[in-house]
Amino acid sequence: MKRGGEQIYRGLLVDFFSPQQLAAEIVQLLAQPDRLRAQRLQARRDVEQHFDLAQRTLPRLIRLVEELAERRG
């Protein structure tokens, strides 16, 4: 999902400086077990798809290090 040109992953979006808002969202989520399960499953899929260490994260890091090494000559 994209919003304003940046990648947004599914989850709870709350004001960073409002622990009360975060607590209220969590309580609301816990009161809806079907929604909680769906979000949990989707979050797992998102992590597996976008942050898999062997398939995505590590190859990107290796490319970055190689590019930096090439620049330094």
Question: In the prediction, which pLDDT does 68 show?
Answer: 96
Buried b (16+ CB within 10 A) or exposed e, 4-22: eeeeeeeeeeeeeeeeeee
Phi-psi category of 4—alpha, beta or left, where left has phi over 0 and alpha has psi -120 to 50? left
Number of folded domains that form the chain: 1
- Whole domain around residue 61: which residue ranges? 2-72
Minimal CA–CA distance to 1: which of 46, 56, 51, 44? Answer: 46
Phi, psi of 18, rounded to the nearest 5 degrees:
-125, 85
Please, what is the end-to-end C-alpha distance for the chain in angstroms?
39
pLDDT at 66: 97
The residues of the chain scoring below 50 in pLDDT are 2-6
